Amino acid sequence: MKIRILLIYVLIFFVGCANDSVYSELYRNLTNLIKGPQNISKEVIDKVPYASMQARLGNSNNSLIVLEEDRNDILKWTTSNYVKIYTQNGFVIRLTGLGNELQRIDLDRNHPAISAKFPENKINLTSFYSFENPQLFRLPVKTVFYHEKNEEIIILGKKIQTKVYYEKSIENLISWKFENKYWVNEDNEIVQSVQYFSPKNPPIHLRTTKKYKKPI
């Protein structure tokens, strides 16, 4: 509680200095700590004619990422600083452009990313993760995937009924602990998620802003 009060006082102090670039950046970071990152507005999203998602790492500012390519149902998304995010049915399976990169996940055949079906009961999965910098090839990661609750969320002013699923690590050789979270709409599509992709990076937060419509 004391730390939160101190942050509020510091934030108030920096409001008057927000025009300076250094103080402005610090002000934004402190705002994120107290209020959380601000969502991208509908006006900004509507200006981009491509399929898009809102994305951020950890507690950083949100950015808009756009669809660059659809190759065999693997969607490749690009950020303004050339980070590449690859998704399959809404699940991150590759992420490059950062220090510690996820080169590939060989998913369990029963994983919802493969089956496009979300389980009613808990299921145990074993997927294989490959990383660069440092290199680690086909690390077996056991997880449990399950439905936790139903939740109404709001995206761009629209209320969406979702089922909330978790994917929690239960065993791997490097004791990597993580808990992914997925919000799935009535069409069995992930509309929002928090996904861990490497032991050395914070999770990526994704939210669908403009849905991709596959050409017929």
Q: What are phi and psi of 163, to 5 degrees?
A: -100, 135
Q: Given pLDDT bands bounded at 50, 70 and 90, which one contains residue 6?
A: very low
pTM: 0.82
Give the closest residue to 77 by CA, choosing from 58, 53, 100: 53
pLDDT of residue 1: 52
User: Looking at residues 42-56, what average pLDDT do you find?
Assistant: 93
Q: Given pLDDT bands bounded at 50, 70 and 90, which one contains residue 8?
A: very low
pLDDT of residue 23: 38
Q: What element of type H or E holds 113?
A: helix 112-115
CA distance 67 to 208: 11
pLDDT single digits (tens) 63-75: 999 999 999 999 9
Q: Are strands 84-88 and 52-57 parallel, antiparallel or unpaired?
A: unpaired
Decide if pLDDT at 178 tops 60: yes
Instruction: Name the average pLDDT for the chain.
Output: 85
pLDDT single digits (tens) 11-42: 334 444 444 444 344 334 433 444 468 999 99
User: Looking at residues 44-59, what average pLDDT do you find?
Assistant: 93
Examine residue 134 and say whether the peptide bond preceding it is cis (omega within 30 degrees of 0).
yes
pLDDT single digits (tens) 116-148: 899 999 999 999 999 998 899 999 999 999 999
Q: Are strands 190-195 and 179-184 parallel, antiparallel or unpaired?
A: antiparallel
User: Looking at residues 68-90, what average pLDDT do you find?
Assistant: 92
Percentage with pLDDT > 70 across the chain:
83
pLDDT of residue 29: 42
Give the closest residue to 212 by CA, choosing from 71, 24, 115, 93: 71
Residue 116, sorted as left (phi over 0), alpha (psi -120 to 50) or beta, turns out to be left
User: Looking at residues 89-112, what average pLDDT do you find?
Assistant: 94
